[in-house]
Structure 1
Amino acid sequence: MLRVKTYISNSSIHGIGLFAGEAIPKGAVIWAFDAPIDQRFTPDDVARMTPKMKEFLSRYAYCERGTLVLCGDHARFMNHSPTPSCGNDPTRQFTLALRDIAPGDELTDDYATMEDSWEPFAGIIEPERM
């Protein structure tokens, strides 16, 4: 769940994006997994889902340690950037600010370093990526 003030708005990167609603200092925790707001799905869970549910997950979930993680808040609107403002802490338990972030800046991450391979879901669901 998001730990900082944010809002969603039009993004020049990809449709809708997540933006800082306050100044966020480098190193601040942006997001952490908080059940039951945030959800984890196994390959067996996803295999039982309808095509519409899979379509939603392919767009908004990310793969971590063999599960799909779905952010239950607006964090799912964080877009990819090769020069991200956010990234994982070394334990991969938190999303941190990689630099000072000004109010109104889009919060971004690098999908290549933030998530694991979707291989556990091969043949079940394919990720939708930009």
Structure 2
Amino acid sequence: MLRVKTSVKPSRIQGLGLFAEERIPRGTVIWAFDQPLDQRYWPGDVARMSAAAKAFLARYAYCERGTLVLCGDHARFMNHSDVPNCGNNASRTATVAVRDIEPGEELTDDYTSMEDPWSEFQGIIESEPVPSRPSLH
């Protein structure tokens, strides 16, 4: 769940993006998994889903430790950047600001380093190639 004030607005990167609504100092936790709002799905769960549900997960979820994580809030609108202002903490339990972020700035992450390969879901769900997915965290 998001831990800072944000809003979803049109993005120059892709479609919609997640924007800071307050100054966020470097090291601040931006997002952390918070069930039941955020959900984790295992391959067996996904195999039983409809095609529409799988397409939604392919677009908005990210793969972590053999599961798909779906952010239940607007964090799923965080876009990819090769030079992100957010990233994983050392234990990969939260997304943190990697530098000071000003109000109105789009929050971005490097999808290639924040998520694991989707290999456990091969043949069950087709993921979009990283980094086009506008998911978060």
TM-score by length of 2: 0.94
**Residue of structure 1 equivalent to 2:79:** 79
For the residues of structure 2 that align with 1:126 and 1:84, how far apart are their CA atoms? 25
For the residues of structure 2 that align with 1:104 and 1:128, how far apart are their CA atoms? 28
Shift of 1:60: 0.2
Spell out, residue by residue over 1:11-67, the C-alpha distance to the aligned partner (whole angstroms, 9 max, x if none): 000000000010000000000000000000000000000000000000000000000
**Residue of structure 1 equivalent to 2:106:** 106
**Are residues 1:34 and 2:31 paired?**
no
Shift of 1:68: 0.1
Shift of 1:84: 0.4
Code of the residue aligned with 1:74 in structure 2: it is H
- For structure 1, the residue ranges without an aligned partner over 5 or more in a row are none
Give the match's secondary structure for 1:53.
helix
Shift of 1:127: 1.2
Code of the residue aligned with 1:117 in structure 2: it is P
**Residue of structure 2 equivalent to 1:2:** 2
**Residue of structure 2 equivalent to 1:53:** 53
- For structure 2, the residue ranges without an aligned partner over 5 or more in a row are 133-137
Segments ≥4 residues shifted beyond 2 Å: none
Give the match's secondary structure for 1:75.
helix
Give the match's secondary structure for 1:95.
strand
Give the match's secondary structure for 1:52.
helix
Equivalenced residues, count: 130
**Residue of structure 1 equivalent to 2:62:** 62
Give the match's secondary structure for 1:104.
coil
